[in-house]
Structure 1
Amino acid sequence: MTDLETTGDTDFHAEAVRALGAAHERMGELIARVGACGLRAGAGRGGDGRSHFTALTAAIVGQQLSPKAADTIFARVVALGPGGKLPDPAGLLEIPEDVLRTAGLSGSKARSMRDLAARIVEGTLRLEALDAMDDEEIITSLSQVRGIGRWTAEMFLMFQLGRPDILPVGDLGVQKGLVRLFSLRKLPRPERMHTLMRPFRPHRSVACWYLWRLNEMPADVLRPPRRGR
């Protein structure tokens, strides 16, 4: 349950990058082209050192939106709080749903955000306990919140808690990255993804970060795979 680095120390990433490059030739080539891994725990939307509540609120806002749109709406939600800061769970519950929607939230997302806050206030979701849980326990716990499914919980594990070996099989970007890395003919199913990513354990979070970067690069960025092996 060792976390990814959270303080700027890149030693863990260096170890992961070396292991990934040794595990697969084309992954090594991709890493060489992209450079150092930029995956940072707790440093996504909401700023460095963001709280778990902030991270989950931002995750709800960002579902099915581009990063730019998500950032805009999240900033509006934050502005609803006292002093232009995101309210705490109790404070968020005091904001009516229709006011939350003026920030650009859909009704469903506003209700999800309020459900998250209510569970924290009631004590049925203890965010401070998440760090000590294993990955699947966290996914199960967070999935009780309205609007938070496995993918959102996995993004929380990767980007907030810095868990090193997460494979979000429902992520289209990871699927497309695998198609390019392994020259597949179609998007892989979950079982196939687990098989393809097995050599990258226990660093699959970092591997996914490089697969996302691969999707941003030209189609011919990697040499054709060797045949006849």
Structure 2
Amino acid sequence: MRTVSSPTSHLSKVDSVMCRLIGEIGPCSLRPNVRRSPFESLARAIAYQQLHGKAAESILKRFIALFPGRRFPRPEDLLAMKVSSIRNAGFSQPKVLALRDLATKTLDGTVPTNRMMKGWEDEAIIEQLIKVRGIGRWTVEMMLIFQLGRPDVLPVDDFGVRNGFRIAYGRRLLPTARTMLRYGERWKPYRTIASWYLWRAADREKQRQK
């Protein structure tokens, strides 16, 4: 019977640099939040677009506070809320429009449920969800990683992943998306785990520079 290697064993076997990273950083602690709905995951992602984490967290707290008694608003709750109230929570007008489109497309079935997506390929999910205003490929890739727990996602447009690659592999310049895709072929079918280690490499370098 053929044995299936663990993600870190596979990555260590096919890539000496990744092997070193894994040894230095330790076990992967990525734990997807599978309880979140696609609506909540994408709404949170919209809040984080083009903002630092703390600023986005503050906006989300004020936004959620608009809906007493709920851990997170439902699509119909959001659509019933005044636009001015959502703006006052800190969302820009384009983000308010994106949130409302997300809510509408969740209710009309354009945004599939978690159960529906279980049988879908990653690319099919991306193609479906980028129909929502303000949702691009990167946003869906983050949902695939942090909510759906898909094991083979390589977000080549993510600055942290690209910068982590530059640092770990001793490159002077950031790699292009094409370079990342080509190099990442060896990491399949565990490119999500490889991405996590590249994020940690970038974080570690940032800490060293403080």
Same fold (TM over 0.5): yes
Asked if 1:176 is matched to 2:167, the reply is no
Aligned match for 1:132, one of 105, 114, 119: 119
Q: Provide the secondary structure at the position in 1 that maps to 2:69.
A: helix
Counterpart code for 2:28: C
- Unaligned 5+ segments in structure 1 are 1-11, 44-48, 222-229
Select the residue among 77, 88, 94 that pairs with 1:91: 77
Report deviation, 1:214.
0.2
> How do 1:49-128 and structure 2 match up within 5 A?
49-128=35-114
CA 1:97–1:131 in 2, change beyond 3 Å: closer, same or farther? farther
- Contact 1:79–1:85 (Cα < 8 Å) also in 2: no
**Matched residue pairs, number?**
203
CA distance in 1, matches of 2:151, 2:8: 12
Confirm whether residue 201 of structure 1 aligns to residue 188 of structure 2: yes
Over the matched positions of the two proteins, sequence identity in percent amounts to: 41
Structure 1 residue aligned with 2:201: 214
Residue of structure 1 equivalent to 2:17: 26
Residue number in structure 2 paired with 1:157: 144
CA contact (8 A) 2:63 2:89 kept: yes
Q: C-alpha displacement at 1:203, in angstroms? A: 0.5
The answer to whether the 8 A contact 1:166-1:204 is kept is yes
1:152, distance to aligned residue in structure 2 (A) = 0.2
TM-score by length of 1: 0.83
* Aligned AA (1:214): A
**Contact 1:77–1:86 (8 Å) recurs in 2:** no
CA deviations over 1:65-122 (Å, ceiling 9, x no partner): 2222222211221111131532211111001211111111111111111100011112
**Counterpart amino acid of 2:23?**
A
Off by >3 Å, runs of 4+ in structure 1: none
How far apart are 1:51 and its partner, in Å? 2.1
Counterpart residue type for residue 212 of structure 1: W
Structure 2 portions without partners, runs of 5+: none
